[in-house]
Amino acid sequence: MLILKIAFRNIFRQKRRSVLTALTMAGGFTLAAISIGWSDGSYNFIIDMFTRNRLGHIQIHKNGYRDRPSLYKTIPNYRQVGEKIAGVKGVEGWTPRLFAAALASVGEKTSGVQITGIDPVHENQCTRFDKKIVQGKPFQFNPNKDVIMGKGLAKILRARIGDEVVIVTQGADGSIANDIYRLVGIVETGDKMLDRTVLYMHLRDAQDLLVLPDQVHEIAVIVHHLKQVPELAKQITKVLNNPELEVAPWQVFAHSFYQAMKADQEGMWIMLFVILLVVAVGVLNTVLMSVLERQREYGLLKAIGTQPNQIVLLVLNEVNFLALGSILVGALLGTAVNYLLSHQGITLPQAFTYGGMEFKTMYTEVNARSLYLPAITILLSAWIVSFFPALKAARTDPAKAMRIH
């Protein structure tokens, strides 16, 4: 106990030096906490935008559809499947989709399009589709041969709200399917590439056109918490218990995107290593100075019976107290800044595009990682650099140290 007391009180012997060291550690902690909060916040924000906006957190397809999409690989009785999914705890919503390639013409302009048949109620609930309509109006509850197209596609086809859109495609029965629809809305999904090809229609209109009654190609699932996705994907697989269906979390169906995000996050370790170095240099300087100054005291402590391991503990505890104090201050500062930025966000001077989506405001995140990773970094660097001065202190020759010779 007295060893702890000596260690604690030693901090106040060279106040200026201790304050500077503590500032280095607290500054390093705050910086690391904000960086991790920023990294995690951006990462989760981008993923959430990418998945929640369009793809969904989990997708269900007929086996083989993801590798080789085909008009014929459909999920029959999709409502029953959807209801089972909705019963899984943690699932926020599900939405059915039907896809097909087609040719769309408006007046004399024609372009290849991707028909996406959606259920307006489910889609609005899951991906807030109605909020993305920048011109015109959303679909009505019942099918009405209305279509909504991406902004880029509308530009290519020079289409305006109210225009007739002629669609030609192939039906599942082998027939040439064609019909006339009315453009009721223009949508901006956030994915510019998609907006140049996508043409949304009511799910039942799409099923009629493609001759796929009560069938869909995809069920996208949205969950409450992003972190639960892998676990919920397993639960859904279990609940569906259908070997013909394939349940994939976003990490699987958007594998390239997932890998890119992971690679981006690796940068955080480099930043932590740099902070570790900065803190290590600051602490090393302080501990070495202290140990050299107090050789006589260590000599005395050894002379009167203090064991070398107790001297090591004395030096390490002094650093521990400084580090813990700094961690506390850094945690308060880092959390405060992260909390503020998680609400207000940081508006970037120039928007950037990731995975076809545009991002202008990014948000930090307050999480446990942004506290325990910097804390481990600070403690680890402090311990590593203090250990050798502590050993030196423990090896003090009492007779020499007290200049008895």
Partner 1 sequence: MKNSEIVIKTENVTKIYSDNGIPVHALRGVDLTIHKGEFTAIVGPSGSGKTTLLNIISGLDMPTEGRVWLNNKLISEMSGKELSDFRRDHIGFIFQAYNLIPVLTVEENVEYIMLLQGVPKEERHKRVVEILKEVGLEGFEHRFPTQLSGGQQQRVAIARAMVANPSLILADEPTANLDSQTGSALLDKMRELNERTGMTFVFSTHDQMIMERAKRLVVLKDGHIEKDLWKE
Q: Are strands 218-223 and 357-362 parallel, antiparallel or unpaired?
A: unpaired
Residue 25 Cβ vs partner 1, minimum distance, rounded to whole Å:
22
Cβ proximity to partner 1: between 89 and 403 the closer is 403
Site stretch for partner 1 (CB under 8 A), options 46-54, 86-94, 226-234, 301-309: 301-309
The residue range among 66-74, 171-179, 296-304, 334-342 that interacts with partner 1, by the rule CB under 8 A, is 296-304
If binding is defined by CB under 8 A, does position 140 make contact with partner 1? no
| Pairwise CA distance, residues 272 & 280, whole Å | 12
- Residue 5 vs 137, nearer CB to partner 1: 5
Rule CB under 8 A: say whether 17 interacts with partner 1. no
Contact between 383 and 284 (Cβ < 8 Å): no
Whole-angstrom distance, CA of residue 334 vs CA of residue 27: 9
- Placement of tokens 């709200």 in the chain: 161
Output 10 or 215, the one with its CB closest to partner 1. 10
Q: Which of 22, 302, 373, 389 binds partner 1 (CB under 8 A)?
A: 302
Minimum distance, C-beta of residue 52 to partner 1, in the bound complex (Å): 58
* Binding-site string for partner 1 from residue 304 to residue 323, where x marks contact by CB under 8 A and - marks none: xxxxx-x-------------
Contact call for residue 2 and partner 1 (CB under 8 A): yes
Q: Are 148 and 157 in contact (CB under 8 A)?
A: no
Among 123, 119, 133, 139, CA closest to 181: 139
> Does 297 engage in binding with partner 1 (CB under 8 A)?
yes
Q: Is 160 in the site for partner 1 (CB under 8 A)?
A: no
Phi and psi angles of residue 243, each rounded to the nearest 5 degrees, phi first: -65, -10
Residue 243, Cβ density class (10 Å: 0-12 exposed, 13-18 middle, ≥19 buried): exposed
SS3 173: coil
Taking Cα atoms as reference points, which of 390, 304, 396 lies closest to residue 10?
390
296 binds partner 1, rule: CB under 8 A: yes
The footprint of partner 1 (CB under 8 A) covers 1-2, 5-6, 9-10, 13, 296-297, 300-308, 310, 398-399, 402, 404-405
